[in-house]
A and B are shown apart, each in its own frame.
Chain A
Amino acid sequence: MLFKPYTKNFGAGVNSTMSNLETILSRDAYILSIEIRLYWFVALVYGVCLVLYLIHLITKKTGPGRLATNMLWLGVITHAGLIMLRTFEGQRAPFQTLYESLSWFAWSASLTYLYVEKRWKDIYLPGILVAALSMGACLYALLTRSPAVEPLSPPLQSYWFEWHVVLAFLSYAVFVVSCSIEITYLTIKPSVKKGLRLEYGLNSGNLETFHRQSFRLALFGFPLLTFGIFSGAAWANDAWGRYWGWDPKETWSLITWTVFAIYLHSMSMPRWNKLPASIFNILGFICMLMTFIGVNWLARLLGIPSLHLYAM
Chain B
Amino acid sequence: MAIIKNIKNINLQKVRENKLYKRFASLKTSCVFLGILVGFYILGTIFPQGASLDDYIKSGGRFTSFVIFFDLLNLFTTPGFLITAFLLFINLTICAIERFLMLRSQRKTVSDGSQFSESFSFPLDINPQLESAEESVKEIFKKELKFNEKACPHTKDFGVGACADSGITIMEKGWSYRWLTWIYHSAILLCFFGFFLTYLFSYEDEITLYPGEAAAIKPAAVSRWNKSWGSKPQELGFKLMLDEFITEYNQFPKLDYPADKLSRLAVAMGWKDPKYILKNESYFPKDWKSRLKVINLSPKSVIGEGKQTVLEKTIEVNDPLSYQGITFYQAAYKQNLKVQVDDNPILFETEVGKELIIPGIDGMLKFGAIRTGMLFKKDGSTEKIKPFTEATLIKEDSSGKREVEKLGKLEQDGGLYVADKRISLREFKEASILSYRYDPGVPVLWWSGVIVLLAMAIRIFGAWYRIIYRIEEKNGRPHLLFKVKTRGLMADEERLIKMVQLSFLNMTEPIDLDTPV
What is the interface of chain A, defined by CB distance below 8 A to chain B? 5-9, 17, 20-21, 24-26, 28-30, 32-33, 36-37, 40, 142-144, 146-148, 150-151, 153-155, 157-158, 216, 219-220, 222-223, 226-227, 230, 233-235, 237-243, 246, 248, 251-252, 254-255, 258-259, 261-262, 265-266, 268-269, 272, 295-296, 298-299, 302-308
Are B317's CB and A155's CB within 8 A? Answer: yes
CB-defined contacts of B61 to chain A, threshold 8 Å? 304-305
- What's the nearest-Cβ distance from chain A to residue B119, in Å? 16
- What's the nearest-Cβ distance from chain B to residue A66, in Å? 26
Are A220's CB and B46's CB within 8 A? Answer: no
Query: How many Å lie between the Cα of A64 and that of B386 in the bound state?
Result: 64
Are B45's CB and A237's CB within 8 A? Answer: no
What is the interface of chain B, defined by CB distance below 8 A to chain A? 27-28, 30-31, 34-35, 37-38, 41-42, 44-51, 55-56, 59-63, 76, 198, 204, 250, 252-253, 255, 257, 261, 264, 267-268, 270, 273-278, 284-288, 316-320, 327, 329-331, 376-381, 435-437, 439, 442, 445-446, 449, 452-453, 456-457, 460-461, 489
- What's the nearest-Cβ distance from chain B to residue A308, in Å? 6
Query: How many Å lie between the Cα of A304 and that of B460 in the bound state?
Result: 40
Are B445's CB and A243's CB within 8 A? Answer: yes
- What's the nearest-Cβ distance from chain B to residue A277, in Å? 10
CB-defined contacts of A154 to chain B, threshold 8 Å? 285-288, 316-318, 330
Are B255's CB and A298's CB within 8 A? Answer: no
With A241-B436, A299-B45, A305-B60 already in contact, 19 other A-B pairs whose C-beta atoms are closer than 8 Å: A21-B278, A28-B253, A29-B276, A36-B268, A146-B255, A147-B257, A151-B250, A157-B287, A216-B489, A219-B489, A220-B489, A230-B453, A241-B331, A243-B198, A252-B41, A265-B27, A265-B34, A302-B62, A308-B50
CB-defined contacts of A6 to chain B, threshold 8 Å? 378, 380
Are B379's CB and A21's CB within 8 A? Answer: yes
Are B319's CB and A238's CB within 8 A? Answer: yes
- Some 14 contacts from A to B, beta carbons below 8 A apart, are A25-B378, A26-B276, A28-B253, A147-B257, A150-B284, A219-B460, A220-B461, A222-B460, A241-B204, A241-B331, A241-B436, A242-B204, A242-B437, A299-B47
CB-defined contacts of A20 to chain B, threshold 8 Å? 379
CB-defined contacts of A268 to chain B, threshold 8 Å? 27
Are B276's CB and A258's CB within 8 A? Answer: no
5 shortest interchain CB distances as A-B pairs: A241-B329, A307-B48, A305-B59, A154-B317, A7-B380
Query: How many Å lie between the Cα of A107 and that of B90 in the bound state?
Result: 42
* Closest residue of B by beta carbon distance from A43: B268
Q: Which of B31, B49, B316 contacts A265 (CB 8 A)?
A: B31
- What's the nearest-Cβ distance from chain B to residue A99, in Å? 11
Are A151's CB and B264's CB within 8 A? Answer: no
For the residues of B in contact with A, the DSSP-based class is mixed
Are B453's CB and A227's CB within 8 A? Answer: yes
Query: How many Å lie between the Cα of A24 and that of B252 in the bound state?
Result: 12
Known: A7-B380, A17-B381, A33-B274. A306 touches B48 (CB 8 A): yes
For the residues of A in contact with B, the DSSP-based class is helix
Are A262's CB and B62's CB within 8 A? Answer: no
Query: How many Å lie between the Cα of A153 and that of B250 in the bound state?
Result: 9
Query: How many Å lie between the Cα of A173 and that of B62 in the bound state?
Result: 36
CB-defined contacts of B274 to chain A, threshold 8 Å? 29, 32-33, 36, 147
Are A241's CB and B437's CB within 8 A? Answer: yes
* Closest residue of B by beta carbon distance from A298: B46
* Closest residue of A by beta carbon distance from B45: A248
Query: How many Å lie between the Cα of A305 and that of B278 in the bound state?
Result: 37
Are B453's CB and A226's CB within 8 A? Answer: yes
CB-defined contacts of B270 to chain A, threshold 8 Å? 37
- What's the nearest-Cβ distance from chain B to residue A247, in Å? 8
CB-defined contacts of A235 to chain B, threshold 8 Å? 318
Are A9's CB and B380's CB within 8 A? Answer: yes
Query: How many Å lie between the Cα of A239 and that of B46 in the bound state?
Result: 25
Q: Which of B379, B452, B460 contacts A9 (CB 8 A)?
A: B379
* Closest residue of A by beta carbon distance from B330: A154
Q: Which of A24, A151, A238, A304 contacts B318 (CB 8 A)?
A: A238
Query: How many Å lie between the Cα of A296 and that of B381 in the bound state?
Result: 42
Known: A241-B435, A305-B56. A25 touches B48 (CB 8 A): no
- What's the nearest-Cβ distance from chain B to residue A204, in Å? 20
Query: How many Å lie between the Cα of A307 and that of B45 in the bound state?
Result: 10
Q: Which of B44, B45, B268, B330 contacts A37 (CB 8 A)?
A: B268
Q: Which of B252, B261, B317 contacts A239 (CB 8 A)?
A: B317
* Closest residue of B by beta carbon distance from A21: B379
CB-defined contacts of B449 to chain A, threshold 8 Å? 230, 233-234
Are A304's CB and B62's CB within 8 A? Answer: yes
Are B456's CB and A226's CB within 8 A? Answer: yes
CB-defined contacts of A304 to chain B, threshold 8 Å? 46-48, 61-63
Are B37's CB and A299's CB within 8 A? Answer: no
Known: A36-B274, A241-B437. A269 touches B331 (CB 8 A): no
Are B48's CB and A305's CB within 8 A? Answer: yes
CB-defined contacts of A306 to chain B, threshold 8 Å? 45-46, 48
* Closest residue of B by beta carbon distance from A158: B318
CB-defined contacts of B287 to chain A, threshold 8 Å? 154, 157
CB-defined contacts of A243 to chain B, threshold 8 Å? 198, 439, 442, 445
- What's the nearest-Cβ distance from chain A to residue B310, in Å? 21
Query: How many Å lie between the Cα of A55 and that of B387 in the bound state?
Result: 63
Query: How many Å lie between the Cα of A29 and that of B288 in the bound state?
Result: 29
CB-defined contacts of A219 to chain B, threshold 8 Å? 460, 489
CB-defined contacts of A9 to chain B, threshold 8 Å? 379-380
